[in-house]
């Protein structure tokens, strides 16, 4: 039975956005995309797989970097068009820039003086090919 996966409202490209949240800290680590195979493999293996839109390839998170995400929980939203993963971020790095999370840029300032400021340090050397 694969009814559960047929519930997902894939977009016109057969993809769904997936948010990875650190299960321990609650931090939102990243937003990536999944196709059907990525979600199936994520659920079957317990490790996050995504679809790279730029490389047009299935991508196991941490395949070369070792920054694997162990998936503790898979959720879907009310419209079934977004996925939420609660994960353990094995080496504590989610971002290909070597940061803990991809959302490291915060909007600061006011009025006409707003700008994005990187708030998080680089912990590990980045590996753009395998975030």
> Where do contacts with a copy of itself occur on this chain (CB under 8 A)?
1, 3-4, 7, 17, 19, 21, 25-28, 30-31, 43, 73-80, 82, 84, 95-97, 99, 102-107, 112-116
Tell the smallest beta-carbon distance from residue 54 to a copy of itself (Å). 9
| CA dist., res. 41 & res. 60, Å (int) | 9
Tell the smallest beta-carbon distance from residue 90 to a copy of itself (Å). 19
The first and second tokens of residue 113, run together, are 């003086």
Contact by Cβ (8 Å): 32, 10: no
Q: Which is nearer to a copy of itself, 8 or 68 (CB)?
A: 8
- Provide the residue count of the chain: 131
H helix intervals, 46-101: none
């Amino acid at each position: 039975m694969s009814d559960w996966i047929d519930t997902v409202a894939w977009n016109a490209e057969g993809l769904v956005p997936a948010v990875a949240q650190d299960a321990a800290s609650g931090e939102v680590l990243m937003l990536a995309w999944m196709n059907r195979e990525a979600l199936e493999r994520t659920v079957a293996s317990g490790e996050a797989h995504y679809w790279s839109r730029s490389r047009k390839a299935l991508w196991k998170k941490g395949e070369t970097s070792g920054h694997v995400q162990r998936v503790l929980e898979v959720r879907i939203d009310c419209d079934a068009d977004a996925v939420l993963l609660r994960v353990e971020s094995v080496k504590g790095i989610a971002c290909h820039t070597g940061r803990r999370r991809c959302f490291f840029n915060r909007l600061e300032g006011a009025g006409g003086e707003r700008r994005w400021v990187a708030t998080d340090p680089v912990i590990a050397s980045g590996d753009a090919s395998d975030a």
